[in-house]
Structure 1
Amino acid sequence: MEEEEKGSLEAEMANVEAVIQRLVETVEEVGAISVYMRAYKKQFGNLSRRIKLLAPMFEELKESKEAVPAAALTSLVQMGDALDAGGQLLRLGRDGSKISLVLEKDKITKRFQEVTAQLEQALHEIFCSQLDISDEVREQVELVHTQFKRAKEGVDILDAELYSDLSSLYEKSNESNVDPEIFGRLATKLQLSTISDLTQESLALHEMFITGGDPEQRIEKMSMLLMKIKDYVQTQNHEFCTPNPKFLISDRKHKTPVVPDDFRCPISLELMKDPVIVATGQTYERVYIKKWLRTGHDTCPKTRQKLRNRTLTPNYVLRSVISQWCEANEITPPELPSKPTWAPSPAECTDIDVFINNLSSSNVDDQRSAACELRLLAKHSMDNRICIAEAGAIPALVNLLSTADPRTQEHAVTALLNLSIYDENKEIIMYSGAVAGIVHVLRCGSMEARENAAATLFSLSAVDDNKITIGASGALPALVSLLGEGSHRGKKDAATALFSLCTFQGNKTRAVRAGVVPTLLRLVTERVGSMVDESLAVLGVLSSNTECKAAMGKLQAVPVLVEVMKSSSSRNKENAAAVLLHLCTGEQQQHHLVEAQGCGVIVPLLELTSNGTARGQRKAWELLHRMICFDDQPIEARA
């Protein structure tokens, strides 16, 4: 009976930890969303800011040793649901169609009211007095609750002129006689003034079409409205085309010709340069349909039909007709993109397609062989990395990260590592949800697979936004584990990844709590298979963190660092001095200054002021200055 009660208690504790961890991760994800359309910037910004202010409460609960009362746990679950709803609304503000967000103002306003009310109710149900949180955090939570309560009672009004202009054009989508000033206002207020802006809006509308969230006719009218805005912007911005000078809008004798809809790419809405036909018979601009396919889609964007194959057939007839139309209208025809230097032969394309098909085979041997072939192809050539990604291999490789076959898993993660060397592929790998699978391999794979998983995370972390996603995925404890128990290569790969990830402030605490400090200090003292350089570099990044300094103090790090300064390489002496300086600026600075002097740090510091790099000399002088100031204090002040 006692064992049953113990098991029940452990399960309940695990449930509490899972709920709190979910809250921490959700707030972090919300915090990473920071770009919204201008028309709703105040509303989205206020919602995001208030949610982020709740982060300290969840962090303190995560670290608390006291049990969370059952009643409070229920309210925290309710808070998790409210935060999820808030996150979905914020993502809509970042990624959704701007035209739709304005036209659907009543619907969006209602969503803001619902989310605000949901968050206010969740905060109302949380009895802060029952939770183990500091008074400062409790006051902050109460302030946020008051703000949500006030926001629930009043609604910010959308720009009336923007809504009037847009809804008027939407209703008159077939009329051509529209005041150009209206298009100018819309382009500015909707932030649709560049190719990138308009392309993103077009993709957002297509995403709405594919998910079926709005009637097809409504999305078609919004797409027509977007085309008209693009036509206006095109006449004002030379970035879009290179028309004959006679066709500038200032020439009253001529009108800018309207591009026929059949000449526009359905994705980008631009005049096509290199039209290609997909398996459903629809035509797209080559570069945009390739981007669509390589991000994991296997359907035709316009018809939503599943593509039988990924073959892209040049539409020579349409290309010729577009050229003739441009000539007749005295417009410089769009230049056909030059053939990529990496363009593979038909035989090579066929091989890659076969390999990709075999990745999804029910035969494990076929999967293993295909993953191995793609791994080798991606290793030897940048051209191959581009071609393999273009063919859609990345989502299929990601699926194999969870396979039970160790060799297939190893080939898959290494193929992703090789593909990630090409910067554009990093985005596709992240978009494909690869991080969770890579972390799984890092925890459970063979040693070689774990090494390459760590190297892949390092490669992906070259993009700053990816550091946040990777840090929130549970990667840091797995990297710390590899750092402590891996092969020599595995330790180096783990240290490199940790160094890169911990340049993001939020990941430092995660790494410290995962136990990285004792592992790093042990590696600094080991002479066999030296990891001193890498370990000190990681400590240098972490040592500004308060929890890291506390951990180093408990582990008697000062004598270890002083010993490095006495006997190691110039680079290591410099890094050790940098870490020691951080230790001597914290709460225990006086204790650490006395300890460092007792260990004989003065002589190596003086040597560093003469022989070190500019950075090393600066660190040494700062430490010496602190010691001199401390020695000048009255004895009673030092006590």
Structure 2
Amino acid sequence: MGGNGKHRWKISFYRSNSGSKNPPKELLCPISGSLISDPVVVSSGQTFERLSVQLCRELSFSPKLEDGTRPDFSTVIPNFAIKSTIQNWCDHNNAQHPQPPDSIALEKAVRALMEKDMEDPGIRVSERELLRGMAERPPVRFMHAATELGRRVDHFYSSSSEESVVIPSASPPTPLPFATLPSCYSSSSSCEITAELQTLNLNSSSPGCEEEEQLMTKLRSSEVIEQEEGVILLRKLTRTKEELRISLCTPRLLSAVGSLVVSRYSTVQQNALASLVNLSLEKPNKVKIVRSGFVPHLVDVLKGGSSESQEHAAGALFSLALEEDNKMAIGVLGALPPLMHAFVRAESERTRNDSALALYHLTLVESNRVKLVKQHNAVPTLLALAKSPASTGRVLLILCNLASCNEGRSAMLDANAVEFLVGMLRRRTDLDSESTRENCVAALYALSHGSMRFRGLAREAKAVEVLCEIEKSGSERAREKANQLLMVMRGREDEPNWDSVLDSGAGAGLDPTRYRVVRNLHNANSTTF
């Protein structure tokens, strides 16, 4: 095959004696292209090299196969039949038995495939998630355009200032805040545009290409004062002339801004970040910005930037996380830990607010929920943070998302979240608004799905009396969720009392045709008893 091989991603570790046949395609790993030494079959039915699957899972990546599908790596089972077939083929064809692949070379191949996947304009980032199956879909679907924020059928609304919405569904519902603009967008700062800089020579009626040329001259200058004037001018233009945001969001301008986001000069960095926030407000720009490589820069700023730079970095990540196609990519690129840290530790209230909302939108994706729970042990931190009245509402939004996955429910039940939430409802003074109270009930409702432990924990916390009070005097949404929770507590008429059955050890005597527990297989509790 001609060419330099840049676009080839398969690597082969297979070596055979001269004259031996090429192995059948079904004996080769679809990722490494080599004979499989340790074959495993995954949930979607394909067989891979075990190390290939491990690397893909660690990188949260599902490659596109030749047939156009993407495998589901959630379950891995040894494939002894294929292993025996491979060994027999080698013996009959005078070929060496396959050896484990080189992990470094294989990781490079996987990363190259990831880069190609990100660069392909015909593939959206979220398609990897979509093809994992309906279980990967978040329980709430939301369009973030301003025109989509009106009332729609099957939505429940509260009248408080912290308005939120829940779509009833068979899956645990998730409350959704209406905020779609970062806090830092309208903030005044020490780097606000001065009268002198507003008088820069700029023809306000010129088309976007002329503005871009003027900006590029300054942004690419080696003089810091020119760079500073350029980013402040870009910040002003993208805030006061909304129609320019899309026309100015070009690859070369993004490249220039990216080099200044990491500037050592605080004024340059802060205004570059503020300009990025402005550009990110337009829906067509959001994926462009992520694919231009800004997320690692924003993560670095959150970790060690100045207070004002952190405000803009958190605001940018929140704005970018509103786009469905960006959610998984932002999580893969390492934004979850610094966002959690900023939510807990940041000096600025704007940084904490935008970090929380970024986490909320990122955890609408299953893979990010699992990472936050399993890799970053976020549940205890969030529950501790919820004790602060200033953070309660935002924490509950994230907890509702986490409670909609098996790992999140298990972690929250282990951390006594049921007792904690019931206690908050009992002490109504802890809740700063009616919608926060609603979200507290919604979090309990999400915990009740697919969990045999919930009912016992709720009884220990004396949840029935609290829920009965809410059913009488709460808002419409709170009353509905309280009613559903009480039904869970009381049990269905055709369902046995599993607590008493387990306590008495009488489970073996039940007639399976008479009693049937209805479960959502995707939401079954994973806790081991």
Provide TM-score, normalisation by structure 2.
0.58
Deviation at 1:633, TM superposition (A): 5.3
Between the aligned partners of 1:633 and 1:424, the Cα distance in structure 2 is 52
Q: Which residue of 2 aligns with 1:622?
A: 484
Q: Which residue of 2 aligns with 1:637?
A: 502
Deviation at 1:356, TM superposition (A): 2.4
Aligned Cα RMSD in Å? Answer: 3.5
Q: Which residue of 2 aligns with 1:121?
A: none
Between the aligned partners of 1:451 and 1:621, the Cα distance in structure 2 is 41
By percentage of residues, which structure has more helix?
A: 1
| Structure of greater Rg | 1
Deviation at 1:28, TM superposition (A): 1.6
Deviation at 1:400, TM superposition (A): 1.7
Between the aligned partners of 2:313 and 2:100, the Cα distance in structure 1 is 36
Between the aligned partners of 1:514 and 1:88, the Cα distance in structure 2 is 26
Between the aligned partners of 2:302 and 2:54, the Cα distance in structure 1 is 21
Pick the aligned partner of 1:423 from 271, 278, 283: 283
Pick the aligned partner of 1:552 from 412, 426, 430: 412
Report the secondary structure of 2:254's partner residue: helix
Deviation string 1:193-238 (CA, Å, 9 cap, x unpaired) is xxxxxxxxxxxxxxxxxxxxxxxxxxxxxxxxxxxxxxxxxxxxxx
Deviation string 1:452-471 (CA, Å, 9 cap, x unpaired) is 21221221222211112111
Report the secondary structure of 2:269's partner residue: helix
Deviation at 1:417, TM superposition (A): 0.5
Q: Which residue of 1 aligns with 2:57?
A: 24
Q: Which residue of 1 aligns with 2:515?
A: none
Letter in 2 for 1:24: R
Q: Does 1:511 align with 2:375?
A: no
Q: Does 1:438 align with 2:298?
A: yes
Q: Which residue of 2 aligns with 1:205?
A: none
Contact kept, 8 Å, 2:360 with 2:397, in 1: the verdict is: yes
The higher relative CO (CA closer than 8 Å, separation ≥ 6) is in 2
Between the aligned partners of 1:481 and 1:577, the Cα distance in structure 2 is 26
Letter in 2 for 1:477: P
Deviation string 1:347-394 (CA, Å, 9 cap, x unpaired) is 997665333222222223332332122112212220342453369522
Between the aligned partners of 1:380 and 1:609, the Cα distance in structure 2 is 48
Pick the aligned partner of 1:578 from 421, 442, 445: 442
Contact kept, 8 Å, 1:542 with 1:548, in 2: the verdict is: yes
Between the aligned partners of 1:368 and 1:29, the Cα distance in structure 2 is 42
Q: Which residue of 1 aligns with 2:66?
A: 43
Letter in 2 for 1:77: I
Between the aligned partners of 1:598 and 1:582, the Cα distance in structure 2 is 18
Contact kept, 8 Å, 1:442 with 1:450, in 2: the verdict is: yes
| Pair 1:638–1:409, CA change in 2 (3 A) | farther
Deviation string 1:277-327 (CA, Å, 9 cap, x unpaired) is xxxxxxxxxxxxxxxxxxxxxxxxxxxxxxxxxxxxxxxxxxxxxxxxxxx
Between the aligned partners of 2:210 and 2:223, the Cα distance in structure 1 is 20
Q: Which residue of 2 aligns with 1:497?
A: 358
Q: Which residue of 1 aligns with 2:273?
A: 413
Output aligned runs, 1:121-160, within 5 Å: none
Deviation string 1:8-55 (CA, Å, 9 cap, x unpaired) is xxxxxxxxxxx999643655263xx6xxxxxxxx9332xx43xx3446
Report the secondary structure of 2:462's partner residue: coil
Deviation at 1:555, TM superposition (A): 2.4
Between the aligned partners of 1:476 and 1:508, the Cα distance in structure 2 is 10
Deviation at 1:525, TM superposition (A): 0.8
Letter in 2 for 1:369: E
Contact kept, 8 Å, 2:287 with 2:325, in 1: the verdict is: no
Between the aligned partners of 2:486 and 2:67, the Cα distance in structure 1 is 49
Letter in 1 for 2:356: A
| Pair 1:481–1:29, CA change in 2 (3 A) | farther
Q: Does 1:524 align with 2:386?
A: yes
How many residues matched?
A: 346
Between the aligned partners of 2:334 and 2:220, the Cα distance in structure 1 is 27
Pick the aligned partner of 2:400 from 520, 540, 544: 540
Q: Which residue of 1 aligns with 2:257?
A: 397
| Pair 1:465–1:72, CA change in 2 (3 A) | farther
Between the aligned partners of 1:519 and 1:612, the Cα distance in structure 2 is 29
Pick the aligned partner of 2:465 from 603, 607, 612: 603
Identity %: 28
Output aligned runs, 1:312-461, within 5 Å: 344-346=204-206, 353-389=213-249, 392-461=252-321
Between the aligned partners of 1:443 and 1:578, the Cα distance in structure 2 is 33
Deviation string 1:401-432 (CA, Å, 9 cap, x unpaired) is 22222332221111110111122222432332
Letter in 1 for 2:255: P
Report the secondary structure of 1:525's partner residue: coil
Deviation string 1:167-212 (CA, Å, 9 cap, x unpaired) is xxxxxxxxxxxxxxxxxxxxxxxxxxxxxxxxxxxxxxxxxxxxxx
* Segment drifting more, 575-584 vs 344-353: 344-353
Output aligned runs, 1:47-86, within 5 Å: 48-49=69-70, 52-54=71-73, 56=75, 75-84=102-111
Letter in 2 for 1:511: L
Between the aligned partners of 1:545 and 1:406, the Cα distance in structure 2 is 41
Letter in 1 for 2:358: A
| Pair 1:56–1:365, CA change in 2 (3 A) | farther
Between the aligned partners of 1:514 and 1:570, the Cα distance in structure 2 is 31
Provide TM-score, normalisation by structure 1.
0.48
Letter in 2 for 1:480: M
Pick the aligned partner of 1:471 from 318, 322, 331: 331
